[in-house]
Structure 1
Amino acid sequence: MFRRKASITERLEALRQAAELGEGLISPAEHAALVRVADAASERRALSGEHTVIGFFGATGSGKTSLFNAVVGEDLGLTAARRPTTSSPLAAVWDPQGSEELLDWLQVEDRRNRPGEFAPGSGPVILLDLPDFDSVEPVHREIATRLAGQVDVLVWVTDPEKYADSIIHDHFIRPHASHSAVTLAVLNKSDRLPGEDARRVAASLEQLLLDDGLKKVKVIRTSARTGDGVDDLRQAIAKVASAHSAQQSRIEADLQTVTRPFVAKQKLSEVTAMDKRRLDDHLAEAAGADRLAAVTAAAYRKRLGQKTGWLLTSWLLRLRADPLKRLGLREEADELGVHRSSLPQLDASGRAVANRGVRAYAEAVAAGLPERWASAVVDETEAIVDTLPEELDRAAARTKLPAQPSRAWGVFTLIQWLALLAALVGIGWYLLAAFLPGVLYPFLDDIIPTVEGWPIPTLLIVGGLLLGIVLGMFTGVFGLAIGSGVKHRTRRALRREVASISQTRVVEPLLAVRSRYLEFLDAIRRAA
């Protein structure tokens, strides 16, 4: 399936988006480059699209201005009393209509209109003679650097003595390595070399340009003094201008140059569910999941004992403090998140466990990220670990604890009361028979009836007491078994709460940095 090629407008919008996403997370120089290219391209497209702007760049003594005058066909410097040297840009303009705003944007004040057209079919052309980029005056170099980023076509003028100088290659040509389509290379003063030497030097310059990253750039040998090669240069300029695509080619080259440092970044490794589980394990341990589970189970057993234990002894359990209440915990979850438990705050060991879990997860998030983005993850991590202990404390308060026995146990409570009542009836029977024997005669012929030889009051007393004791022991043993399940459910409930906290307080903030980088990278690739 074919993918539609993005338009220049779409690519510039993507570049602006990348600049916004990368602000503060890429170097200031890189961010400035993104903004500069986006702004310059948009501004250039809003100005005259008919004119092709060609800039002549060269070092001091390269004969750049003389070559410029030779191409123009007139020594424009003779009419400029202010211009004994190339201290400010000078423009030779063919078909000047509509060029004023463009030259204002280029900040070129010295403008010379030329008659006719530069070459048949070339369309409106503006040639710029620029200050030497190795001038001792910093402002001259600044002008040359600025206009190297604005003109449509770059003409690099060198000479046999300085063609290999590092200044032109390191600071000017190499940063524009993507601009082969709008670059012309000139070896001026070639008349000073014998024919074979001139060819050898030109070939050496071509190799240097190839090493700089330029492709298919042929070196034009010229001599402003003799006029050799000037027509070749004019034809090369006319060919570029007549294509009427230099402006777009320049913008595309700028986009390629400014995005190249980012598009080759390695693919990020995935942040897996296992990384999240390890984080939750550490945070649950730090939050005291095991202790809270044990306390909840103890509270459950205490309350079950109070509810279903032998009535003659179960009241003693009420004298003991409730394990949950002692820690300021309640069964119902604190939905507002304002209740704090009395669990001790995380000690150094607990903090270390929590921090280790958060930082391990942060390492997984930062794996493969560029240095500045990884540093942003680290900064976010430090902010997280400062506030996490309080969040983990509230996790216990927000957890619904299964410490209350169900109402079904009320059946055992009823049986306990019935058993106690039976025992009391038996005791009362004997008391009545002993102290008020006449009271029972109207109802019973035998004051102490028996069943299979056992007195009924005795059976009531023994049966009631034994039933209460056995039920109490049964529910106590059963409570131990259920307590294990309560532990498990409590630990699972707290872990769910911790998982929720880790998602909102750890995972989402850290992944937001990673997602921002991925969005940045996507925007960069669309711009590229």
Structure 2
Amino acid sequence: MFRKKPNLNERLDALEDAARIGEPYLTDEHRERLERVATAGAERRALSAEHTVVGFFGATGSGKTSLFNAVVGEDLGKAAARRPTTSSPLAAIWHPDGSEELLDWLGVEDRRERQGEFAKNAGPLILLDLPDFDSVEASNRAVAERLAGQVDVLVWVSDPEKYADSVIHDQFIRPHANHSAVTLAVLNKSDLLAERDIDTVADSYAGLLRDDGLTNVQVVATSTLTGAGIDDLRGAIARVAKAHNAQTARIEADIVSVTERYTGAKGGGGVDKHAKRDLDAALTKAAGADRIAEITAAAYRKRLRQRTGWLLTSWITRFKPDPLRRLGLREEADELGVHRTSMPELDAASKAVANTGVRNYAAAVGEGLPHEWSAAVADRSEKISAALPAELDRAVARAKLPAEPSKGWSILTVFQWFALLAALIGVLWYLLVAFVPGVLTPVLGTDLVPDVEGWPLPTLLIMAGLLIGILIGLITAVFGGALGSGVKRRTRSAIQKEVASASETTVVEPLLAIREDYSRFAERIAVAAG
């Protein structure tokens, strides 16, 4: 789909958004760089767009000020009754109307107006003579560093002795490697070289600048003593001023400089779905789902025996503690999430399983993210791991455990009572015949113990009652054992469901929030980068 390229104001807004989104993750230095470029760019855009600001930067002894005076056409230091301190920049201004606020923003107090034009069609122009950027005075260096981030065009002035100084290249030139379009390089004091060596040294200087990352930067060899190259430098400055795009090019270069380390980084989109599944499996294991499944099955068998076992013996099982309630587990789900079990705290092995699961998931979340965000994922996962045992305990408490036999088994309880009643009737029958036969005479006549196929009826009642009770108890015991595997399976499923829900809120959402922050950050960086 065609997307309109963002304008410079939109890019600056996006950069400011990126700095805000990245605040919890970026180092103070990197965040401040983003904010500084966004703020400085917006402030520069709000000031005079007509004036092109050119700053002369150089090391001590490079002849920068003499070169500045030669380009201006007058020694402005001598022209002033009093030059401010050496840390104060000096401005030569052509067409000063509208430059006041811009110079205030630049912090330049020493302002010298020039008559006429710097060059034909060059338009409003400000040249700045700046303190040496390698000065031993911290204030001088600070001014040079500040204005290196504010001027529209940078003129690097060096000389045959210091042009290869690694400190100058590493600390001052290389940080502005993306500013080729608004950079001019000068090899001053060329009179110190033999005529045949000037081009060789200039080419060497240009090669070092290319190594710094400055492409297509031509080195102008100058000499304030002989006047060589002064007109060439004036012409180069005039060409930049005539283009009237130095301000925009400078801001764009600043944006590229602070966004390049983030552009092209992966990390958007979702996380492999298998990562969540593996996390839930690890946490379910750590929560003791297998052990709880065994306990639930044992509780199911106990309760089934209590309900359907032989009534003469099943009452004994009531004196045994319920396996679930002994550990503070309940078959009812804890809907409010406030119940805690009485299960022992996770042992070292279970904690290791849980921590490994969280770390593996964190690794999947952090995959492709820049160091700042992947480190934040790792840090947050450690905090999550510390709180995980309590969360898993609550998840287990929330699980609805299938320990209670269904109501359908109650019909066997009824049969057990009928069987017991039949046996008791048989026993009572014999007792009455033995001790108070007269009670049965009105009902049975003279045959107080009738038989069926040669078996006394009371005996049949006793035998049937006992055998049916025992048989039902044995059958339900067998079925209880067989149904235990299903109870185990449903228990694991119930616990896994609650653990998956807990992991979503406790692990997944906090970690994915970091990844989503980076996605938003990357999107705004992409807009800022254009």
Same fold flag (TM > 0.5): yes
Question: In the alignment, what sits opposite 1:457?
Answer: 458
State how far apart, in whole Å, the 2-side matches of 1:86 and 1:80 are: 14
Please say if residues 426 and 458 of structure 1, whose CA atoms lie closer than 8 Å, have aligned partners that are also in contact: yes
Q: Is residue 60 of structure 1 aligned with residue 60 of structure 2?
A: yes
The one-letter amino acid of 2:140's match is: H
3-state DSSP of counterpart to 2:55: strand
Residue 444 of structure 1 and its aligned partner are, at CA, apart by 4.1
Q: Any unmatched runs of 5+ in structure 2? A: none
3-state DSSP of counterpart to 1:263: coil
Q: Is residue 193 of structure 1 aligned with residue 193 of structure 2?
A: yes
The one-letter amino acid of 1:44's match is: R
Q: How does 1:392-403 map to 2 (within 5 A)?
A: 392-403=392-403
State how far apart, in whole Å, the 2-side matches of 1:129 and 1:21 are: 38
Q: How does 1:400-419 map to 2 (within 5 A)?
A: 400-419=400-419
Q: How does 1:21-420 map to 2 (within 5 A)?
A: 21-83=21-83, 87-265=87-265, 271-420=271-420
The one-letter amino acid of 2:3's match is: R
Residue 271 of structure 1 and its aligned partner are, at CA, apart by 4.0
Between 1:474-483 and 1:389-398, the stretch displaced more is 389-398
Question: In the alignment, what sits opposite 1:496?
Answer: 497
Residue 168 of structure 1 and its aligned partner are, at CA, apart by 3.0
Residue 82 of structure 1 and its aligned partner are, at CA, apart by 3.3
Please say if residues 86 and 129 of structure 1, whose CA atoms lie closer than 8 Å, have aligned partners that are also in contact: no
The one-letter amino acid of 1:197's match is: D
Between 1:76-85 and 1:500-509, the stretch displaced more is 76-85
State how far apart, in whole Å, the 2-side matches of 1:340 and 1:47 are: 65
Residue 110 of structure 1 and its aligned partner are, at CA, apart by 0.3
Please say if residues 152 and 247 of structure 1, whose CA atoms lie closer than 8 Å, have aligned partners that are also in contact: yes
The one-letter amino acid of 1:299's match is: A
State how far apart, in whole Å, the 1-side matches of 2:87 and 2:507 are: 58
Please say if residues 267 and 515 of structure 2, whose CA atoms lie closer than 8 Å, have aligned partners that are also in contact: no
State how far apart, in whole Å, the 2-side matches of 1:439 and 1:190 are: 143
Residue 199 of structure 1 and its aligned partner are, at CA, apart by 1.9
Please say if residues 176 and 257 of structure 2, whose CA atoms lie closer than 8 Å, have aligned partners that are also in contact: yes
Deviation string 1:447-474 (CA, Å, 9 cap, x unpaired) is 4333333333333222222111111111
Deviation string 1:466-514 (CA, Å, 9 cap, x unpaired) is 1111111111110111112111111221122122222222222223233
3-state DSSP of counterpart to 1:328: coil
Please say if residues 87 and 143 of structure 2, whose CA atoms lie closer than 8 Å, have aligned partners that are also in contact: no
Aligned CA distance change for structure 1 residues 70 and 88 (closer, same or farther; 3 Å) = same
Residue 431 of structure 1 and its aligned partner are, at CA, apart by 3.6
3-state DSSP of counterpart to 2:25: coil
The one-letter amino acid of 2:210's match is: L
State how far apart, in whole Å, the 1-side matches of 2:483 and 2:398 are: 23
Question: In the alignment, what sits opposite 1:510?
Answer: 511
Residue 177 of structure 1 and its aligned partner are, at CA, apart by 1.1
Please say if residues 268 and 367 of structure 1, whose CA atoms lie closer than 8 Å, have aligned partners that are also in contact: no
Residue 24 of structure 1 and its aligned partner are, at CA, apart by 4.6
Please say if residues 59 and 158 of structure 1, whose CA atoms lie closer than 8 Å, have aligned partners that are also in contact: yes
Question: In the alignment, what sits opposite 1:5?
Answer: 5
Between 1:199-208 and 1:374-383, the stretch displaced more is 374-383
Please say if residues 268 and 515 of structure 2, whose CA atoms lie closer than 8 Å, have aligned partners that are also in contact: no
Q: Is residue 466 of structure 1 aligned with residue 467 of structure 2?
A: yes
Question: In the alignment, what sits opposite 1:478?
Answer: 479
State how far apart, in whole Å, the 2-side matches of 1:9 and 1:339 are: 55
Aligned CA distance change for structure 1 residues 267 and 427 (closer, same or farther; 3 Å) = closer
Deviation string 1:54-107 (CA, Å, 9 cap, x unpaired) is 111122232222222222222211122433985421111111111111101100
The one-letter amino acid of 2:213's match is: G
State how far apart, in whole Å, the 1-side matches of 2:89 and 2:319 are: 97
State how far apart, in whole Å, the 1-side matches of 2:195 and 2:2 are: 51
Deviation string 1:360-418 (CA, Å, 9 cap, x unpaired) is 33333334444443332332223222222222222222111111111111111111112
Residue 12 of structure 1 and its aligned partner are, at CA, apart by 1.5
Between 1:55-64 and 1:270-279, the stretch displaced more is 270-279
3-state DSSP of counterpart to 1:33: helix
The one-letter amino acid of 2:102's match is: L
Residue 50 of structure 1 and its aligned partner are, at CA, apart by 1.3
Please say if residues 12 and 527 of structure 1, whose CA atoms lie closer than 8 Å, have aligned partners that are also in contact: yes
The one-letter amino acid of 2:93's match is: V
Tell me the percent identity: 65
Question: In the alignment, what sits opposite 2:523?
Answer: 522
Between 1:286-295 and 1:82-91, the stretch displaced more is 82-91
State how far apart, in whole Å, the 2-side matches of 1:405 and 1:501 are: 28
State how far apart, in whole Å, the 2-side matches of 1:423 and 1:169 are: 107
State how far apart, in whole Å, the 2-side matches of 1:127 and 1:335 are: 74
State how far apart, in whole Å, the 1-side matches of 2:158 and 2:92 are: 21
The one-letter amino acid of 1:8's match is: L
3-state DSSP of counterpart to 1:258: helix
Residue 256 of structure 1 and its aligned partner are, at CA, apart by 0.7
3-state DSSP of counterpart to 1:262: coil
Deviation string 1:334-368 (CA, Å, 9 cap, x unpaired) is 12222221111223333333223323333333344
Deviation string 1:253-272 (CA, Å, 9 cap, x unpaired) is 00111112222546689743
Please say if residues 362 and 381 of structure 2, whose CA atoms lie closer than 8 Å, have aligned partners that are also in contact: yes
Aligned CA distance change for structure 1 residues 401 and 266 (closer, same or farther; 3 Å) = closer
Residue 523 of structure 1 and its aligned partner are, at CA, apart by 2.6
The one-letter amino acid of 2:375's match is: S
Aligned CA distance change for structure 1 residues 356 and 174 (closer, same or farther; 3 Å) = same
Please say if residues 178 and 256 of structure 1, whose CA atoms lie closer than 8 Å, have aligned partners that are also in contact: yes
State how far apart, in whole Å, the 1-side matches of 2:284 and 2:193 are: 81
Residue 184 of structure 1 and its aligned partner are, at CA, apart by 1.3
State how far apart, in whole Å, the 2-side matches of 1:186 and 1:511 are: 51
State how far apart, in whole Å, the 2-side matches of 1:378 and 1:2 are: 38
Deviation string 1:170-217 (CA, Å, 9 cap, x unpaired) is 222211111111111122233443443222222222222222111211
Aligned CA distance change for structure 1 residues 70 and 422 (closer, same or farther; 3 Å) = same
Between 1:101-110 and 1:175-184, the stretch displaced more is 175-184
Q: Is residue 425 of structure 1 aligned with residue 425 of structure 2?
A: yes
3-state DSSP of counterpart to 1:240: helix
Aligned CA distance change for structure 1 residues 380 and 266 (closer, same or farther; 3 Å) = same
The one-letter amino acid of 1:320's match is: K
Q: Any unmatched runs of 5+ in structure 1? A: none
Residue 430 of structure 1 and its aligned partner are, at CA, apart by 3.4
